[in-house]
Each structure stands twice: as C-alpha cells, then as structure tokens.
A = this chain, B = another copy of it.
C-alpha cells in the first residue's frame, strides 16, 4: 500500500509542497481559496502528515511528557483527568500528552529523564511526585524544555502543589478540637537528606501536623509518627499496629499518607476492637471518590487532583509558548471533608 505524502497532495492540488506545508502549519499568508482546496484534498485522500517526519523536521517531538512513578495509580489517574479535560477544552495537545512511568526505580527514572531530554522526546515535561536531580532540571532549562513539577518544588522549574501544610494543619486542629490527646501521624518519608526517597508533600504535611500541635500546646513526640513508603492499605494496617505495639493507644490518627493507608488503619483498629470514631478518629488525605462509601465513611483532606492537573497543563503550555517570564508556583487549597470516621 503506497503511502500518500505531501508531494502527492501538492501534485493533485497543483501547488508546491511548501504551500501544502504552510496550510498544515497555519501560516497566515495563504489565500482562503487555496487553503480550502488543499484541506479538501487532504481530507478526500485521507492524508495525514507522517508525524515522525514532522517532528524530525522540526527538530523535536512536539509532545508533552508526563512522568510519574506509576501510571496505574488512583492519584495519577485523577491528575491525568484534569490534564485531559483541559487539553480538550483548549483544543491543544489533546493526544500529545504522553505518560511515562519510572516505577519507583532510581535507575529507570534517571535514564528516562535523560532520554526524554536528549532523544528529544518532548517539548515540555510534567513530573508528578518525582525527585529529579537539580542537575538534570538545569539541563532541561538549557535545552529550552520547560518543566512543571507536581508535588515538588525546585529551582529552574515551575510547580503545582497542594497546600499540604495547611491541609495537615486543618486536620490536626480538627482532631485536637474534638478532644483527641494522642494524635498520631502516618506520613511519607520526609527526610530531605535522603533526597531520592523523600517526599516534599510529606515534609510539608508533617510540618502542618507539628504546627497545629504546637499552636494548641500539645507535645510533639517522634514516637507518634510512623513512615509510609508504599501508601497502600496493607501498609496502613501494619503501621497502625505498630502504634499499638508501642503502647501508644492513639485516639486519633492523621493519615497524611493518603486515603488508602487510612483504610488500612481503620481495618487494623477494628481488629483491635476499637470503635471508630468513638475510640479512635481517623482522617485520610486525598478524598478519593470511594471515601464516602467506606465503613465508616472517611473524614479526609480533599486535594483536587483535577485542579492540580489542569493547572499543570496550563502552566506547561504557557511555558512552551514562551509566555512565562518567571517560574510560577501554584498552590491548590485543600479542604477538610468531614464524614463519620472522625
């Protein structure tokens, strides 16, 4: 099957390849009549320019890379949803936002970030919950490829973050006002010294928790904190039981590590015979769509993944179009959603 090319279209339309190309690229100086005719012929012959040739010719893929550790995650899906919706509304890059996953592997991540950059796989990159080296971010800058970070903040990159500190503060404050005394925190790893493992969001949330305790005069105790690495239901179970084994008997837990860990905490608490929320208040962080349907329904800090996504989209597009003179840092406001678990 002979593929139809720009040359064929040019021949059929009786014009040069240049003219056809200009029509495809919306050059302004083509008379409406010529333009119409060429478009009509393209349509009639089912002609679509060979995309790889276009990108080759332009010197780079005109795609937006979306890099995260796991595509098939609740969180990622939500963010992608916001990005997609926005792309659809704007009519730009609708099918050119390409997700890549680094799978929690330092090696894969480094390779991937280099490859996107040096193999010119994208004109802009959104990174979700990644800890790239500052060095590679600088390389992207040098190459003129803008970067938007989600759940992180660095030099030479734009960012979109939830106001994590505030979210954790609100939740902790709520527990305090409910009269809870032994308020535990389950949280991602927040020690920036081990840079590749740490989470910027976790650091902020832990700070919010601490601030609230301090503000209300409760003492801060490291033993009241457990670290989550996987953010799973199982991990939530395990970490709650650690509090119990330490003899802490929490009457409140803020699962800053997310709704899934909160599900695990509730599960474990039930096994210990604790009544929720009477004996133990549990608060999650996310407000995934099923949070309202859990048993009991989950009180949680809502972070709008949709908002995160569409802001990231708007930022990267503006940056790619050269409309941003300085690095932008967007903060999404969280909301405490009160249900039956606390």
Chain A residues in contact with chain B, CB under 8 A?
1, 3, 46-53, 55-56, 60-61, 70-74, 76-78, 80-81, 84, 88, 94-95, 98-101, 103, 108, 112, 114-115, 118-121, 142-143, 233, 263, 267, 289-290, 293-297
CA distance A77 to B290 in the complex (A): 16
B73 with A77: CB separation less than 8 A: yes
Besides the contacts A77-B77, A95-B101, what 20 more A-B pairs have beta carbons closer than 8 Å? A3-B120, A48-B114, A50-B119, A50-B120, A51-B61, A51-B121, A52-B52, A52-B61, A53-B56, A55-B56, A71-B80, A72-B84, A74-B77, A76-B77, A94-B108, A95-B100, A233-B289, A263-B290, A290-B293, A295-B297
CA distance A55 to B267 in the complex (A): 51
In the bound complex, residues from chain B placing their C-beta under 8 Å from that of A142 are: 1
Tally of this chain's copies: 2
In the bound complex, residues from chain B placing their C-beta under 8 Å from that of A72 are: 77-78, 80-81, 84
In the bound complex, residues from chain B placing their C-beta under 8 Å from that of A52 are: 52, 55-56, 60-61, 120
A120 with B51: CB separation less than 8 A: yes
Of B48, B60, B103, the residue contacting A115 (CB under 8 A) is B48
